[in-house]
Amino acid sequence: MTEPSDDQLLDRHRKGDTGAFEVLVRRHGAALHGFLLARSGSAAEAEDLFQESFVRVLDALPSYRERGQFRSWLFRIARNLAADNRRRKLVRRETGLEGAGSRPGPVPAPDEAALANEERSRLEAAVSRLSPKLRETYTLRTVSGLPFREIAQVLGCPLGTALARMRYALDRLREELGETPEPVARNEEAIP
């Protein structure tokens, strides 16, 4: 038996099947949470944004008309919430209203080897220095695992632009990390 599509689950939810929405949350939750964690750098903020994203989806569900595009729609909502959250944090920081309890970035797990921690730190630092557009494309692909077509939809850009941004991001990361850029294998999924 095949799994119901996102649109079928949404239709079932509209008809009163509360379990259908839970399936959507489980289906897309890990990728969305990873994306928000990478965007916010804080597990607590990512969790807040995650929950708010699904609340917004429920609020906007009556006007949802993008058949077959639920995941892209969900990530656009989350992306906008993360951007709003970031702007609020900047305003609080600039006006001195940011609380002393703020925690910078994610804390590495204590059981990981020092070398792995160092490599991850170097990569995270390099990713943080990418332009916002490149960083966002890289995060949507590597952390959330979205296909390039959906990345293009989330970012509101053509597929070719999303592919080019990923290539530029990878080239810059390889250059900064001291690796020689290798030819990127052709991704069949990326072909229009």
- Specify the DSSP class assigned to residue 98: -
Tell me: the pLDDT tens digits for 3-47?
999 999 999 998 988 889 989 999 999 999 999 998 888 888 898
Does CATH place domain 1-98 in 2.60.120.380? no
As given in the structure block, the two tokens for residue 182 are 């290798």
As given in the structure block, the two tokens for residue 161 are 């632009």
Cα–Cα nearest to 33, from 46, 52, 51: 46
Domain chopping of the chain, boundaries: 1-98, 114-192
Residue 102: is its pLDDT beyond 70?
no
Looking at domain 114-192, its CATH class is: mainly alpha
Q: Please state, rounded to an integer, the average pLDDT across all residues of the chain.
A: 81
Which amino acid is residue 33, in one-letter code? Answer: H
Cα–Cα nearest to 137, from 153, 155, 159: 155
As given in the structure block, the two tokens for residue 10 are 């949404």
Radius of gyration of the chain (CA): 18
Per-residue pLDDT, 26: 92
Per-residue pLDDT, 94: 66
Per-residue pLDDT, 103: 46
Tell me: the pLDDT tens digits for 38-74?
888 888 889 889 988 988 998 888 888 878 889 999 9
Fold match, 1-98 / 114-192: no
Backbone angles phi and psi of 6, in degrees to 5:
-60, -40
As given in the structure block, the two tokens for residue 102 are 């703020």
Per-residue pLDDT, 185: 38
Per-residue pLDDT, 186: 35
Enter the pTM of the model: 0.60
Between the CA of residue 186 and those of 70, 167, 190, what are the distances in Å? Answer: 27, 12, 8
Which amino acid is residue 175, in one-letter code? Answer: E
Residue 98: is its pLDDT beyond 60?
no
Share above pLDDT 90 across residues of the chain, in percent, rounded to a whole number:
32
